[in-house]
Structure 1
């Protein structure tokens, strides 16, 4: 790989931005494009832990520590969750709350806060919707956008989410499979008493497991007036899941609110109260949960590859989506930097990355699916629980 070869990244989610930061630190030319206008709320919370040991050594020193995204950063409280059986209301344990800087440390934060940190000193060209790419015989490729503009590079990375347009062209129309789960989500500001019940023995919130539905309720921000902003996502499945999903897409905020109250009527009182206080005004438009399982361990050879949800979108039941995406960005970024030093061909770099990361990420997708198919004792912690019982 030559030092003047440019990497085109489609999608400015956390995985694409992390890759851009790694390339920037290594002096590899890159461009980042995103279809949104830059004001779209990415929302909700994600947690990083499994990826941190790979991430930190590759980040440039001129951006903030990602740990600063956590609402608990200034209190020095370690992030972590507790897991509750929704039927018995029993605590199943608390995730490892390792101190900051420890190898097992977890960073939990609003996705937007992470993106703002990873976007520092990275120019993102917003409002650019990918249309197609064309590879040339000279080893370059042209990327075209729906507004009539184009750019030229030598590597194209599709980091454009579970409905990736790059993947659709690369794999001849491949689409992610819709999950049987329907999602309902909301956000609510609560007082210190209810917040304490939601946090339990943790500092970040809780995961709730039932036979046919799972939920998380996670803190996004600690407000100056002593209240806390929480987001919650309820995912449930019914026999006629396609019909249910269509209903959720068309339902009014009032209807979604009533459905959430109905589905959680037997849950612990603090969860019922949280949903009740959300009200119709706190409800958001549901999103479709999609799974991407690539069957082959290598993509069609060329100068195009995939990253993040474009390669491995999964059910959000084990907290591994962002961790897997960022770990993949670290592997791909380091592979490109090493390839530059060793003058390795782009084909060999991408082939090695895919042969390692497609099977690894596919396994994580299937593990998350298994957690969703499990009963109320399913391991929603992703193997992070350190002790059981209250």
Structure 2
């Protein structure tokens, strides 16, 4: 029997664990967090059809149903507007989903916290907390032993590094691989939706994701996280799970190059970040500025944007990587989590095949060949999207806005330009 050790209990690592468990493959996850409820930071993320199909494959049916139920309203639409809230282009549900109504083909706006809690469900005997990975050793018999800071170790046939952008597994396995600072910093926050605050925002800011395209070298993304009533996930047996999906909010992120801010944005406190975001949006629509001004102060954060550097193909072994541990990317196309889920789905299939008698390292090599292809392509296009969002001359940006208006006015052109959108990774948020 194949035994798989996963280092890292994020979205990709847990999806892989769920898929292996579902298929009867022995798996253990070692997570550095001390408790299940430790990792409660994060914003709404977009799950596209690649991610939805991966979750459908990896999760038991009841957990996939819980994921679908936890998705917010309006995830299947995307609207581009000016900084004055003038519509440029709207991509309706029939374009973004390709007309499919199947749950696994949908786009979902979900809480990162809630998704992780769903992925943890049923893995109580699989996930081991308070396990800080330090190093691994290749054993003479071909197996791998992972060593942890508490002095314990675990030995298996495969070691999967799913430990994020600062991966310690990658640092040992591919020490030449790394990430670069793109020079872009985002200020992000949450506008909590209550009965009173909801009335202060226009429907456009509450109905679905918006991409704001100003003429200057910056951008803003806005997306609601709002449910159609209770979904049942909050009533699961574990009161320590701390699901947050009953607290609706609007997520927003303003992004620009570091020098655009004129100050050391990463050193600022929450109130200072809010004031800076308001300064950067002077002259914008009052609705957008009110959203920033009235956001929950404690949610304001500065996010330096980093991106992986593609590496040459390495010789495959019993050690491999998935998600941000190998191909971390900017959030500007919202595909990081989806690519990690795609990794989990593909690697799960290869490891299940190995458990059934197929070649282990050969299967991992097939996974890595495919994963590095689509993974580093996603890194590249994500970086390009980030550079476009905060770059370009005023003339070029105004030209792009004009093209969007034309496409929006001619449905046939819009369909031609965005045909197959459901398999493209649109400009989305983290």
TM-score by length of 2: 0.78
1:291-340 deviation line (CA, Å, top 9, x unaligned): 113221x3343211111111211111112111111111111111111222
Aligned position for 2:164: 161
Q: Residues 203-352 of structure 1: matches in 2 within 5 Å?
A: 203-210=207-214, 211-222=216-227, 228-239=248-259, 247-278=264-295, 281-296=297-312, 298-341=313-356, 343-352=357-366
The answer to whether the Cα contact below 8 Å between 2:54 and 2:344 also exists between their aligned partners in 1 is: no
Correspondence 1:33 to 2:30:
yes
Moved more, 353-362 or 119-128: 119-128
2:122 aligns to what SS in structure 1? coil
- Aligned partner of residue 207 in structure 1, secondary structure: strand
- CA separation of 1:253/1:26 partners in 2, compared to 1, >3 Å: closer, same or farther? same
Report the CA distance between 1:9 and its aligned residue: 0.9
- Alpha-carbon displacement from aligned partner over 1:169-191 (angstroms, at most 9, x marks no partner): 11125321112111211112243
CA distance in 2, matches of 1:138, 1:314: 36
SS of aligned partner of 1:133:
strand
Distance 1:209 1:373 in 2: 13
Q: Which residue of 2 aligns with 1:53?
A: 53
The count of aligned residue pairs is 369
Shift of 1:108: 1.1
Cα offset, 1:287, TM superposition: 3.1
Change in CA separation of 1:198 and 1:160 when aligned onto 2, cut-off 3 Å: farther
* C-alpha distance in 2 between matches for 1:214 and 1:300: 41
| Alignment-derived partner of residue 171 in structure 1 | 174
Q: Pick one of 91, 94, 97 that aligns with 1:94.
A: 91
**CA shift at 1:111, angstroms?**
0.8
Q: Distance in 2 between matches of 1:48 and 1:329?
A: 14
Query: Cα distance 1:180–1:95, how it changes in 2: closer, same or farther (>3 A)?
Result: farther
Q: Deviation per CA, 1:338-377: give whole Å up to 9, x if none.
A: 2222x22221111111111102111111111111222554
Q: How far apart, CA to CA, are the structure 2 residues paired with 1:195 and 1:80?
A: 18
Report how far residue 102 of structure 1 moved: 5.6
Q: Which has the higher helix share?
A: 2
Contact 1:188 1:282 survives alignment (8 Å): no
**Alignment check: 8 A CA contact 2:10 2:162 kept:** yes
Question: Any conservation in 1 of the 2:134–2:168 contact (CA below 8 Å)?
Answer: yes
* CA RMSD between the two structures: 2.9
SS state at 1:137 partner: coil
8 A Cα contact 1:204 1:219, kept in partner: yes
Q: Contact 1:214–1:317 (CA<8 Å) still a contact in 2?
A: no
**Map of 2:238 onto structure 1:** none
Which position in structure 2 is the counterpart of 1:15? 12
Classify the secondary structure of the residue corresponding to 1:294: coil
Check 1:7–1:102 CA distance in 2 against 1; reply closer, same or farther (3 A cut). Answer: closer
Deviations 1:19-50 (A, max 9, x none): 01110011111111211223221420111123
Report whether the alignment pairs 1:6 with 2:3.
yes
Task: Supply the distance in 1 between the matched residues of 2:104 and 2:143 (Cα, whole angstroms).
Answer: 40
**Match of residue 385, structure 2, among 359, 371, 385:** 371
Q: Which residue of 2 aligns with 1:197?
A: 203
CA apart distance, 1:53: 3.0
Name the structure 2 match of 1:107.
Answer: 108
> Structure 2: how far apart are the matches of 1:300 and 1:113?
37
Contact persistence 2:8–2:30 (CA under 8 A): yes
Residues 260 and 275, structure 1, Cα contact 8 Å, conserved in 2: yes
Deviations 1:224-252 (CA, angstroms, capped at 9, x unpaired) = 7x9941222222114489x96xx233212
* Structure 2: gaps spanning 5 or more residues: 230-245, 405-417, 425-430
